[in-house]
Chain A
Amino acid sequence: MLAAVAIVAPALGATQLQAQQPVASGYRDHASLGRALDSLQRAHPRLVQVSTIGSSAGGRALHAIRLGTGGDAADQRPALLVVANAYGPQLIGSEIAVAAAGQLASSYGRDSATTRLLDGNTIYFVPRANPDAAEAFFRSPRVERTGNDTKTDDDRDGAQDEDGPEDLNGDGVITMMRVADPDGAWMADALDPLIMRRANAAKGERGAWQLHTEGRDSDGDSRINEDGPGGTDVNRNFTHDYQFFVEGTGLYPMSSTEARALADYMIDHPNIAAAYVLGPQDNLIKPWEFRRTTGIAGNPPGTSAGGPLQSILQPDEAWFAEMSRRYRKATGQTKAPPSAPLEGDVLSWLYFDMGRLAFGSPGWVMPDAPADSASPRPEQPDPAADERAALRWLRANVPGSVVEWTRVEHPDFPGRVVEVGGFRPYARQNPPASMLGDILAKQTTFIGELAGSLARVALREIRVETVGDRTFRITAQIVNEGYLPTQAAIGARVRWPRAVRVDLRTSDGQHLAAGRAVQLMSPIAGSGRSTELSWLVVGAPGSTVTLEAASPTSGRATETITLRAR
């Protein structure tokens, strides 16, 4: 938490540092989100179904939206899953999910591309996977929170949630706090005093400040705000590289009801072929690349002896590269802060443990704010470059989103200089309402493109040759007319996303002499790539057999074939 600067909230037009009821215009609290989903379903009853897939630690419903045609037939079509706001501070993800669902629903029947899309594919949305954490945005004082409502003993002192933050300057938000202290480890940046960094004794720098989040030592243990409300960070509670005994990760992987609800939803919808995760793990602005790695004792990773995978599989690298190119084109986002680590997060879980091609981005990236050429330049390399740029942009574009150092009287430090200030909670992750429209439109476009790129199985080049008396050779191409493969390389390893199954069904009086009645196909790349199969059937001329190629994630293609030469 002791990053250079702290958390922010979009001031949304507020210009004064005063306590105010946070009006999250542009962002919805749990109740309004629920109402928005109900309206969406009422407005498009044949396209939208809203369901509850579980509940949070705090008892809040976890919503899911199914967008597709034909009622429950939509669950039989290849689908994209959009998951948002598992990471509490990124409410922008919820808005993107809801906006995309609404926009695509409205366009169905009006726009031919959207109509074709939803006739062929389904999109599931889980707009807010961590509603307890997100709700903190709407409380006063506003504090940026990642944890759900599980009560935890973060400092292992036997008490739970006994020392949270306090709003010392009455501005309605929790920011950072610095306490003048010649023994402190922190110093202010030479160019922008709001940026704090550790003093480096090797450079002869003297520390002058302690740095904390805003608040008091409520439980008298000499630590400030070390055990506040907020338990499990849902976006650190999944299974890939889960971190035991780290604050916020939960008691054990999948300990949260939120994580298990999402997992059970995936299991119940085997037609989910790929996923888009709105969160701090990014692989769309900077795509995942294959890295050659070594597992335990020199054994290959992804095996019992070698341990879990540490890199994506090589054949999947191409899909990530291309989707990244399409994403950057659709959104104009080309630069982003580095992805958050893949430790127990939804994105890496969806790829490594559920076997889907999973794409992630923060949804919104703060635009660049180039420095004024006249102002003094910081020493390079500048470890505070991101904070400096964020401060520049926010001060210029979102009034009130940066709290400059403000003196307060602090009961734990009588007579000492204590100042509060920093980014307003949530301001670095969530754009002001005025900018939402453009972002939501572009994200909707990308979501539609991604959903439209799923694999689509088809049968082509079906040939029947008469080989002899009542003996017929049937040949067919099993084709993938979509873009993404019928199974990613990881999917073929994980096996939950099923391979295309090809059945040749004969009837009484016919005999299958060669070829398999049932077989599971290796992955078929998209863009028309195919695999050829053949069978030898003995039967009455004019009788028919049925050929079917299907999987939940690739769709279904069926053909009735008559036994006669074509």
Chain B
Amino acid sequence: MTTTHSTIGRMPIRFSKATRLASLATLGATLLVAAAAARPTPLGAQAGALSAIGAPRDPKVKLPWDTYYDHAGIGEVVRKLAAAHPNYIKAGSIGKSHEGKDLYLLTVSDFRVGDPDRKPAYYIDGNIHSNEVQGSEFALYIAWYLAEMAGEVPAIDSLLRQRTLYIVPTINPDGRDHYLHQPNTASSPRTGLVPRDNDHDGLVDEDGYNDLNGDGHITQMRRRNPNGRFIESPVDPRIMIPAPPGQKGEWEILGLEGYDMDGDGLVNEDPVGGYDPNRNWPWRWAPQYVQGGADYYPGSLPETRAVMDFVYSRPNIAAAQSYHNNGGMILRGPGVPQDEYKPADVRVFDHLGRVGEEILPGYRYMIVWKDLYTVWGGELDWLYGARGVITFTNELWSSFLYFDKPVVNEPYDNVTARFDRLLMMGEGYVPWTKVQHPQYGEIEVGGMKKNFGRATPGFMMRAEAHRNAAFTLYQMSQMPQVSVDSVMTRSLPGGLTEVTAIVGNHKIIPTHTQQDLDNRISRPDWVTLEGADPIAAFIVTNPLQDIAVEQKRNPRRILVDNIPGMGTVTVRWIVRGGGPYRVTVDSEKGGQATWSK
């Protein structure tokens, strides 16, 4: 099998001879395996079956990728993956939710090579908003895909050897289980479950939705009223449309299912929770009257602090993704205009974002404050602002994906209803159903089910997961990777030797983003010489004109502020002693490399 996925990104591909030989060897091995497949296999793969490209041939962990798991289910998947792939996946936890559920962590890397916590790392989390569920499955998919394809695709093996992936599939398991198990809409809850007095009336969580028809979904209420201003759409009676001017209506719309539980004249005004987990982060945190949902203070939620503690403990994290839904967006910060990103970093984001748009048709690369709305105290702002990490948030599921084209709504119709009729046989809606309402009398409830509209439909989940995974794998391949490109020596008078090393980073993302450099977030990269006694050390700031600046202290270890993306830095020592020399470059986010003679 050849490494077809390396053609993404329009980067010129250089296969080394070693890679080409390895490809041929793998091809040869595949032919042998294919021959073996003619015999019955113990794991149930159909004898004689041909695997489709892009899917593991006979996965050890068989998952349908068309289901939304609750927290216990995610735990099961995590355990199965780690048990089946001990060389590549370790299971852990970064802490506990408010209700004491583990925030599961998958560490994905080739553990036979190097220390995973010293390799350049990519961090992913999903489901920060309780109802935005598919991020968890999509995050798990990446681990599954990598582990199941390991040994089959050289580029994947290389990624696993050189990089680490930290995956926290859900950072809001309490809210996730409420969305899945309790009556909700597609948009509820967004909050987690720490109790809050939303309406400041002294009672906590006292008036949430009420599932009047007991179907597990919170839908719309309507009541027959000749003075109401709504009628049913002639195209699809499930859709309510305004009555034309001058025409008598038939229905009034009464809001989402519920009644006034606490007698204060308001309905559904204080459901569970009452904050926005993605406004609780410390970068540009602002109080609730500036940013709704920010809660009492940044990090007031245990889930926020668990993620922060984890990220601060892993200075090797160079890039990150936090999954949300919906909208088909590839978002980068800043969340507020005065934090506009530095030009050097914008160039990196722009390139990755454009590649993302290509991998994910229907997704658009956007800036949060400019193209979406202002966000104070968001997670991606903190990851970039406080840790200098190249971070995207993908808003999964786009209405473009209903028909693989931009949405054009017909009169009296909408794209979700049309998709439901043509592709789902009407499964996505609760038909209008009569119920008795404690205050309003006889009403009807109906509308979109909670797992439709924002959650990716089951038959499309795997494809969308794979494309988002491919976007992540591209970024992972472009995280910094330091190398020692060459070491040259030259004799100097008096028995001294000049040793010149060129260290490189042949990836798009620099070892230090500009945000990192401006605020000295990560330590400098270290270039260390062993095997000789360094008398003086220099950074050759202009290799063409051979202009060098001395590093006056501690010549054995040269401190390099940054190795730029697709760039090199030239360093030099004057030494006494003839070697053999050993030059090591060690970067917090860029890995390590050694050259020795």
Contact = CB atoms under 8 A, between A and B. Distances in A.
B291 interface: yes
Given A244-B519, A252-B282, A518 B291 contact: no
Interface residues of A, number: 42
Nearest to A493: B289
A497 to B, nearest CB: 9
Contacts of A305: 374
Contact of B282 (A158, A253, A296, A297): A253
A307 interface: yes
Contacts of A352: 287
Interface stretch (B74-82, B243-251, B259-267, B404-412): B259-267
A493 B285 CA distance: 16
Contacts of A496: 200, 296
A302 B290 CA distance: 5
Contacts of B519: 244-245
A99 interface: no
Contacts of A296: 336-338
B372 to A, nearest CB: 12
Contacts of A255: 282, 299
A254 interface: yes
Contacts of B382: 252
A520 B201 contact: yes
B386 interface: yes
Given A251-B312, A252-B282, A304 B201 contact: no
Interface in B289-319: 289-292, 296-300, 308, 312
Interface in A502-553: 516-520, 551-552
Interface string B198-220: 00111000000000000000000
A469 interface: no
A160 to B, nearest CB: 12
Contacts of B264: 516-519
Contacts of B323: none
A260 B519 CA distance: 25
Contacts, number: 100
A499 to B, nearest CB: 7
A195 B593 CA distance: 53
Contact of A495 (B263, B288, B553): B288
A304 B288 contact: no
B289 A494 contact: yes
A221 B512 CA distance: 23
Contacts of A225: none
Contacts of B308: 252
Contact of B265 (A494, A495, A518, A552): A518
Nearest to B520: A156
Contacts of B200: 495-496, 498-499, 520
B374 A304 contact: yes
Nearest to A250: B282
| Number of chain B interface residues as a range | 35 or more
A239 B297 CA distance: 7
Interface string A207-246: 0000000000000111000000000000000010010110
A255 B282 CA distance: 9
Nearest to A355: B287
Nearest to A156: B520
B385 interface: yes
B298 A267 contact: no
Contact of A297 (B265, B337, B523): B337
Contacts of A517: 263-265
Q: Which secondary structure characterizes the binding site on chain A?
A: loop
A296 B297 CA distance: 22
A218 to B, nearest CB: 14
A239 B285 contact: yes
A496 B287 CA distance: 11
A308 to B, nearest CB: 5
B287 A254 contact: no
Interface string A274-296: 00000000000000000000001
Contacts of B202: 498, 501, 551-552
Contacts of B289: 302-303, 493-495
Nearest to A222: B553
Contacts of B297: 239, 253-254, 260, 263, 353
A271 to B, nearest CB: 12
A498 B202 CA distance: 8
B290 A303 contact: yes
B286 interface: yes
B474 interface: no
Contacts of A297: 337
Given A244-B519, A296-B337, A518-B264, A308 B296 contact: no
B312 A253 contact: no
Contacts of A221: 553
Nearest to B266: A518
Nearest to B281: A252
Interface of B: 200-202, 262-265, 282-283, 285-292, 296-300, 308, 312, 336-338, 373-374, 376, 382, 385-386, 519-520, 523, 553
10 contacts: A156-B523, A251-B312, A254-B297, A263-B300, A296-B338, A303-B289, A305-B374, A307-B338, A516-B265, A517-B264
Interface of A: 156, 158, 220-222, 239, 242, 244-245, 251-255, 260, 263, 267, 296-297, 302-305, 307-309, 352-353, 493-496, 498-499, 501, 516-520, 551-552
Sort A-B residue pairs by CB-CB distance and give the 3 closest, nearest first.
A252-B282, A518-B264, A493-B289
Given A252-B283, A516-B264, A518-B264, 14 more contacts: A156-B520, A242-B285, A253-B285, A253-B297, A260-B297, A260-B299, A263-B300, A302-B290, A304-B290, A304-B376, A353-B297, A498-B202, A517-B263, A551-B202
